[in-house]
């Protein structure tokens, strides 16, 4: 309830009656939008107590308001402000000087196209949705995680841990993460090397914000994961772009830049490159490691999709090689358990981890201790590993089906390589088709392609889009490819 | 399992037997710490399949390793790397150049005193803990929230919402927050004015990082909420400090600074100032609003404790007055529901909210849709309001008890004012007592005082600490005051 005792002040020495003073002030509050249309007024007894007047006075004030048609009587509920009053615009938070408010009739939903990049529309819940490669939420082990969660709600140590500042993640999850990374991909790290984040992107932000300053030269691939670009731009870096072919980043282009000027950082997804899904060849990996020992630069190794390999031959991360601590290794549990699980990690030397923790606390004082603990239990019990094995089989078959249907239905109109793993196909449309227009038309058919697209005509990857197959069941894959065939015919 | 097919490579043309090649390479992997002590080796049949050799060859290699005492046989499990081997230090993430690793024998827990400020110790779970004013976790409606959570696990729209980038919070929570703030404290905002964050600190970081640049003059109180200082320093701001007395920030000192030089931003908690708990007087509030219309500066109004008012007279936020959109209003649901609930909000003009959202996505691509939705339901159903009413009564009585016992037991050694609300007392110890030493000695008695303390001799608030009473039940309050009496006698 509003603090009416503060909002309504009566003056016994005034010539205006107390009841009139009260009704006048309520009208002003309605006019100012403090009391909104449809709001219930306090019961007369309560308001009388709050303001310190006789209940009859409030009755009289409410009668005034009824007469003037500001409020109406609702059976068994009391009085409410009339709902047909024009809704008052929020005012105090609409600056009149620098950040001018665009003309809008009333406070409705934010105009999504005022938000730069992506996610411009309300989320539809009935359409076919193709992401840029997210796991299927229907496979998220919600129930197992919830059961585990409830088991620990009364855990005193966990509850008390929520009183403290973030320590870079609950110790159990830092340990479990080190153990998970050591056993799944041959890293060689301990708790002190681990910072738990709310997803891989937070790790990328921390690394770039800590290590890259204004005017620093950085290198990314073209095309690139859009949010690493954005984060570099936010840090004021100068971005250099190098090409990608079927063996990954073209290392010779990188070497030419290094010969020419000092490079502060390289951002790279060597395993399943985003967006193109290609895996960097061993030769180029070796060459990159050589360049790292010759030149002094940082590398963010974004290994967001490591655990999804369809073949039996995952390539170990660059970070398993000797790199003098210059690689920041980044990954995400969201990709393993589902997009609702917001946990990731940053792996680096302890000094970097401590500086990153210091920065992280400035925007995220505390992590989610319970979620972190539950995930640690899942890792240590082996249930995360089992989950990965299960979904890997499912995703591999969805990949095969999507590839087969694209081939059958659109073979002459699209081209793609079957990736060694991951959750998406990088599909190039024949130059006769306008990808932007295709995405628009597909939306009209109820097919939302929200995968990362490359529509940069200068790029060899032009007219390509990531089709995330992992979140689609068989019937959905069939419908998606059918709609695409129909649109391209 | 490690990708042994990649890690072990055999050469049939070599003069060394295949079995010896394999055992040599496994030894190297153990030496390098890739296979850690205690790790189980794959079953011979599986490793044979992975490497593509005969199973007998693997048997032979394992026998070699047994002979050389690198591995041992475990009944019914197979072979494992001996556990008594010296644990190998992580290497690749320990840089040899810039960020040198301190000499440590093996990967143990991170040295907490390498982390700047606060939280330097492992979290003890058996001691008395006095925070700087957090709610009691035992009163968090965990079960209600969990029940609500489970109800929505299969909600298709919510699950699909997790596929999209953060829209500044789930629309339901943005709407509910606007409605909660409008009805509880007379703000006048709509969904477009709301950004949902992971706690109040994230909102402070966003506002400062967006609006304050290197070298900008900013103003805070002395003493101040330490993480606003840290965030200003992170942005490169020049911090000016003004005093606090029993009427809050000393506005005349602020005016003198404004007359002298341009101020970019003021950070302020006018309601229950942190750490001193004082509430700013109406005169000074008015004066501040006048200064805002005369000079052009931003204000962060941190209202972290608004809903906890022991009297019936909460003072409305500055943000309810006309301020041309120059106030960023910040608050937290963690203070209402418990420290495990990591949700807060930033309230501002739509253009600022959109820029903040753009920045937030760089480190937090997606919020926790389910938690956000559950909280929205609690707000709209009125259960948050009821919770606040309930705990307010409890906290008010804990405040009264703590004040009474401090008075009775330590009346001549401490001084404090009973705050108008909030979750902590700001207690000044007589100058004869060394507060730092007291905190140390209390810890030895099992009493951990982790509340914010002022030990700056230049400050009139020197030798003071926030004693959070809210998270302590009656018996704990008695024990805390008993230990303090004993230490001060």
Residue A405 CB contacts under 8 Å (≥ 6 apart), including other chains = A477, A478, A481
Q: Kindly state whether residue A396 falls inside one of the protein's structural domains.
A: yes
Q: Give the domain range for residue A35.
A: 4-81
Q: What is the pLDDT of residue A92?
A: 64
Q: Kindly state whether residue B87 falls inside one of the protein's structural domains.
A: no
Q: Kindly state whether residue B370 falls inside one of the protein's structural domains.
A: yes
Q: Kindly state whether residue B137 falls inside one of the protein's structural domains.
A: no
Q: What is the pLDDT of residue B133?
A: 95
How large is the average pLDDT for residues A279-285? 90
Instruction: Tell me the CATH number at B42.
Output: 1.10.10.10
Q: What is the pLDDT of residue A36?
A: 80
Q: What is the pLDDT of residue A86?
A: 59
Q: What is the pLDDT of residue A91?
A: 54
Q: What is the pLDDT of residue A88?
A: 52
B377 and B410 belong to one structural domain = no
CA dist list (Å): A202 to A77, A228, A332, A357, B386: 48, 11, 10, 11, 36
| CB pairs < 8 Å spanning A and B | 348
Which chain B positions have a beta carbon within 8 Å of A50's beta carbon? Answer: 312
Write the pLDDT tens digit of every residue in A16-41: 788 888 888 888 788 777 788 888 89
Pairwise CB contact (< 8 Å): A363 & B206: yes
User: With a cut of 50, which residues of chain B have pLDDT below it?
Assistant: 96-125
A216 and A321 belong to one structural domain = yes
Higher pLDDT, residue A264 or B126? A264
A213 and A353 belong to one structural domain = yes
How many residues can be counted in chain B?
Answer: 489
Q: How far apart are CA B109 and CA B83, in angstroms?
A: 20
Q: For residue B396, give the 3-state DSSP assignment.
A: helix
Q: How far apart are CA B415 and CA B437, in angstroms?
A: 18
Would you state the structure tokens that stand for residue A246, as one six-digit string?
Answer: 């079927």
B149 and B271 belong to one structural domain = yes
Pairwise CB contact (< 8 Å): A93 & B347: yes
How many domains does chain B fold into?
3
Q: How far apart are CA B94 and CA A190, in angstroms?
A: 11
Q: For residue B241, give the 3-state DSSP assignment.
A: strand
Instruction: Tell me the CATH number at A210.
Output: 3.40.640.10
- Chain B: residue nearest A91 by CA? B188
Would you state the structure tokens that stand for residue A47, as one six-digit string?
Answer: 């308001």
Q: How far apart are CA A344 and CA A65, in angstroms?
A: 57
Q: Distance (Å) from the C-alpha of residue B412 to the closest C-alpha of chain A?
A: 31
Write the pLDDT tens digit of every residue in A105-117: 222 222 233 333 3
Q: How far apart are CA A88 and CA A94, in angstroms?
A: 13
Q: What is the pLDDT of residue A369?
A: 95
B213 and B321 belong to one structural domain = yes
A14 and A69 belong to one structural domain = yes
Q: Kindly state whether residue A307 falls inside one of the protein's structural domains.
A: yes
Whether A376 has a pLDDT exceeding 70, the answer reads yes
Tell me which of A81, A109, A125 is where a domain ends: A81
B199 and B339 belong to one structural domain = yes
Q: How far apart are CA A454 and CA A275, in angstroms?
A: 9
Q: How far apart are CA A258 and CA A290, in angstroms?
A: 12
Whether A253 has a pLDDT exceeding 70, the answer reads yes
Q: How confident is the model at residue A169 (pLDDT cuts 50, 70, 90)?
A: very high
Q: Kindly state whether residue B98 falls inside one of the protein's structural domains.
A: no
B234 and B159 belong to one structural domain = yes
Q: For residue B33, give the 3-state DSSP assignment.
A: coil
Between A95, A101, A160, which is nearest B123 by CB?
Answer: A160
Q: How far apart are CA A305 and CA A286, in angstroms?
A: 21
Instruction: Tell me the CATH number at B408.
Output: 3.90.1150.10
Mutate to test the interface with A, among B6, B93, B115, B174 (most CBs of A within 10 A): B93
Which chain B positions have a beta carbon within 8 Å of A183's beta carbon? Answer: 1-2, 39
Q: What is the pLDDT of residue A87?
A: 53
Adjacent-strand bridge partners of A78: A74
C-alpha triplet A167, A172, A178: angle, nearest 5°: 90
Mutate to test the interface with B, among A90, A92, A389 (most CBs of B within 10 A): A92
The answer to whether A300 and A334 are in contact (CB under 8 A) is no
Tell me which of B81, B99, B114 is where a domain ends: B81
B357 and B213 belong to one structural domain = yes
Which chain B positions have a beta carbon within 8 Å of A90's beta carbon? Answer: 188-190, 193
Pairwise CB contact (< 8 Å): B191 & A231: no
Between B39, B162, B325, which is nearest A95 by CB?
Answer: B325
Whether A436 has a pLDDT exceeding 70, the answer reads yes
The whole-chain average pLDDT of chain A stands at: 88
B343 and B275 belong to one structural domain = yes
Q: Kindly state whether residue B119 falls inside one of the protein's structural domains.
A: no
Q: What is the pLDDT of residue A9?
A: 80
B74 and B180 belong to one structural domain = no
Write the pLDDT tens digit of every residue in A381-403: 999 999 999 999 999 999 999 99
Which chain A positions have a beta carbon within 8 Å of B93's beta carbon? Answer: 188-189, 193, 319, 325, 327, 329, 347-349
Which chain B positions have a beta carbon within 8 Å of A313's beta carbon? Answer: 3, 5-6
A377 and A393 belong to one structural domain = no
Helix (H) or strand (E) holding B414: strand B414-415
Q: CB B451: neighbour CB atoms within 10 A?
A: 22
Q: What is the pLDDT of residue B77?
A: 82
How large is the average pLDDT for residues A155-182? 94
ipTM above 0.95, yes or no: no
Residue A32 CB contacts under 8 Å (≥ 6 apart), including other chains = A88, A91, B188
Write the pLDDT tens digit of every residue in A284-335: 998 999 999 999 999 999 999 999 987 666 788 999 888 889 999 999 999 9
Write the pLDDT tens digit of every residue in A66-96: 887 788 888 888 898 887 775 555 556 765 4
Q: What is the pLDDT of residue B8?
A: 84
Q: Kindly state whether residue B113 falls inside one of the protein's structural domains.
A: no
- Chain B: residue nearest A352 by CA? B99
The answer to whether B5 and A313 are in contact (CB under 8 A) is yes
The answer to whether A290 and A237 are in contact (CB under 8 A) is no
The answer to whether B385 and B333 are in contact (CB under 8 A) is no
Tell me which of A382, A397, A423 is where a domain ends: A382
Q: What is the pLDDT of residue A82?
A: 84
Q: What is the pLDDT of residue A29?
A: 82
Which chain B positions have a beta carbon within 8 Å of A110's beta carbon? Answer: 167-168, 191-192, 350, 353-354
Picking from A186, A276, A35, the residue whose alpha carbon sits closest to that of residue B3 is A186
């Amino acid at each position: 309830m509003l603090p009416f005792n503060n909002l309504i002040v009566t003056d016994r020495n005034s010539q205006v009656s107390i009841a009139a003073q009260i009704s006048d002030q309520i009208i002003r509050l309605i006019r100012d939008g403090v009391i909104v249309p449809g709001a219930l007024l306090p019961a007369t007894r309560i308001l009388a107590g709050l303001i310190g007047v006789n209940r009859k006075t409030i009755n009289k004030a409410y009668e005034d308001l009824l007469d003037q048609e500001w409020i109406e009587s609702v059976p068994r509920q009391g009085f409410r402000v009339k709902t047909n009053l024009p809704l008052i615009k929020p005012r105090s938070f609409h600056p009149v000087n620098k950040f001018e408010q665009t003309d809008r009739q009333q406070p409705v939903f934010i105009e999504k196209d005022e938000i730069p990049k992506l996610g411009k529309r309300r989320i539809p819940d009935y359409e076919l949705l193709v992401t840029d490669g997210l796991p299927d939420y229907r496979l998220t082990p919600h129930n197992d995680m919830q059961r585990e969660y409830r088991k620990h709600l009364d855990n005193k140590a966990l509850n008390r841990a929520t009183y403290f500042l973030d320590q870079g993640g609950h110790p159990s999850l830092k340990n479990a993460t080190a153990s998970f990374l050591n056993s799944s991909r041959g890293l060689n790290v301990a708790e002190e090397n681990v910072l738990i984040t709310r997803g891989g992107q937070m790790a990328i932000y921390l690394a770039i914000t800590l290590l890259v300053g204004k005017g620093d030269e950085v290198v990314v691939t073209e095309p690139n994961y859009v949010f690493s670009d954005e984060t570099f731009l936010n840090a004021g870096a100068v971005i250099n772009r190098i090409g990608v072919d079927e063996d990954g980043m073209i290392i010779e282009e990188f070497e030419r830049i290094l010969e020419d000027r000092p490079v502060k950082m390289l951002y790279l997804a060597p395993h399943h490159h985003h967006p193109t899904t290609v895996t960097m060849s061993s030769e180029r990996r070796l060459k990159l490691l050589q360049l790292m020992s010759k030149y002094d630069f940082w590398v963010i190794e974004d290994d967001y999709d490591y655990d999804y390999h369809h073949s039996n031959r995952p390539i170990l991360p660059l970070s398993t090689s000797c790199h003098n601590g210059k690689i920041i290794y980044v990954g995400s549990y969201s990709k393993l358990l589902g997009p609702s699980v917001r946990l990731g990690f940053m792996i680096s030397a302890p000094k970097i981890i401590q500086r990153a923790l210091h920065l992280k606390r400035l925007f995220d004082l505390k992590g989610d201790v319970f979620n972190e603990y539950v995930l640690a239990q899942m890792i240590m019990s082996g249930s995360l590993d089992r989950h990965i094995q299960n979904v890997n089989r499912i995703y591999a078959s969805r990949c095969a089906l999507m590839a087969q249907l694209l081939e059958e239905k659109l073979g002459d109109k699209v081209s793609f390589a079957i990736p060694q793993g991951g959750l998406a196909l990088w599909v190039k449309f024949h130059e006769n088709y306008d990808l932007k227009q295709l995405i628009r038309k597909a939306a009209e058919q109820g097919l939302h392609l929200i995968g990362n697209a490359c529509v940069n005509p200068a790029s060899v990857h032009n007219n390509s889009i990531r089709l995330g197959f992992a979140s689609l069941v068989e019937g959905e894959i069939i419908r998606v490819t059918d709609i695409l065939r129909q649109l391209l015919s």
